[in-house]
Amino acid sequence: MEKPRFSRIILKLSGEALSGQQEFGIEHTTLDSIAHQIDEVVQLGVQLALVVGGGNIWRGISGSKHGMDRATADYMGMLATLMNALALQDSLESHGLSTRVMSAIEMRQIAELYIRRRAIRHMEKGRIVIFGAGTGNPFFSTDTTAALRAAELEADAILMAKKVDGVYDSDPFKNPEAKKYETLSYIDVLNQGLGVMDSTAASLCMDNNIPIIVFNLTKQGNIRRVIMGEEIGTYVGR
């Protein structure tokens, strides 16, 4: 059997990815599809942690634009990520997978408090760790959370699951002539503002030499293809 390219990864899921064809909320058929793809990866023996956003329920920056205190709006966004984390946990466990939800904000009744060594131990035991509540601090995105956790847990790569099949020089949904990048450097992402992830997260990945692969989540089996080393999506690195 061919060996996976990566042995430990962080999979970054946006909140919008969980809404499927809906404008907001959680689409259960999409959850089931994601769980099926993750099940394929676990069967390969890959250690997996998920970082999930909350934009399908609440976006902190949107609330602040309407006059809400930014810190308060961001804390509300962290709660949204935990709702998504619990939904993912339920879907994954319905597929027979072992999971743990870890929160950067203490909520003992529903999640473990994030502790680096404990998270590593869970993954070593074959459990899927789902990180909620971002970094636990306002003004930081879940992209930054993914970069931070990848550095802390010594992950081989961050997989950025999107609704498009890579990084383009403009919006491919609006511009049919948009050019897709096969590979990019961290500096390209930062200088051109390509929207792979925010600048704080991209800088953290660059400083710690963490590869980023942007790919299309909606095509069944793509998570496995990326992990097995197929050249799909866009690779960001040195």
- pTM (predicted TM-score): 0.92
pLDDT tens per residue across span 114-159 = 999 999 999 999 999 999 999 999 999 999 999 999 999 999 999 9
Q: pLDDT confidence of 1, banded at 50, 70, 90?
A: low
Q: What is the average pLDDT score of the chain?
A: 92
Instruction: Check whether 100 has a pLDDT greater than 90.
Output: yes
Rounded to an integer, the average pLDDT of 211-231 is 92
Instruction: Check whether 64 has a pLDDT greater than 80.
Output: no
What 8-state DSSP symbol labels residue 225? H
Instruction: Check whether 22 has a pLDDT greater than 90.
Output: no
Residue appearing with tokens 């942007």: 214
Q: What does CATH list as the number for 8-237?
A: 3.40.1160.10
Comparing 56-60, 100-104, 183-187, which segment has the lowest mean pLDDT? Answer: 56-60
Cβ atoms of 38 and 48 closer than 8 Å: yes
Instruction: Check whether 62 has a pLDDT greater than 80.
Output: no
- Percentage of the chain beyond pLDDT 70 is 98
The b/e string for 19-58 (b: 16+ C-beta within 10 A; e otherwise) is bbeeeeebbeebbebbbebbbebbebebbbbbbbbbbbbb
Beta bridge partners of 50: 11, 130
pLDDT tens per residue across span 30-51 = 999 999 999 999 999 999 999 9
The amino acid at 178: A
Q: pLDDT confidence of 222, banded at 50, 70, 90?
A: very high
pLDDT for the residue numbered 58: 86
Spell out the domain ranges in the chain: 8-237
Q: pLDDT confidence of 213, banded at 50, 70, 90?
A: very high
Instruction: Check whether 20 has a pLDDT greater than 90.
Output: no
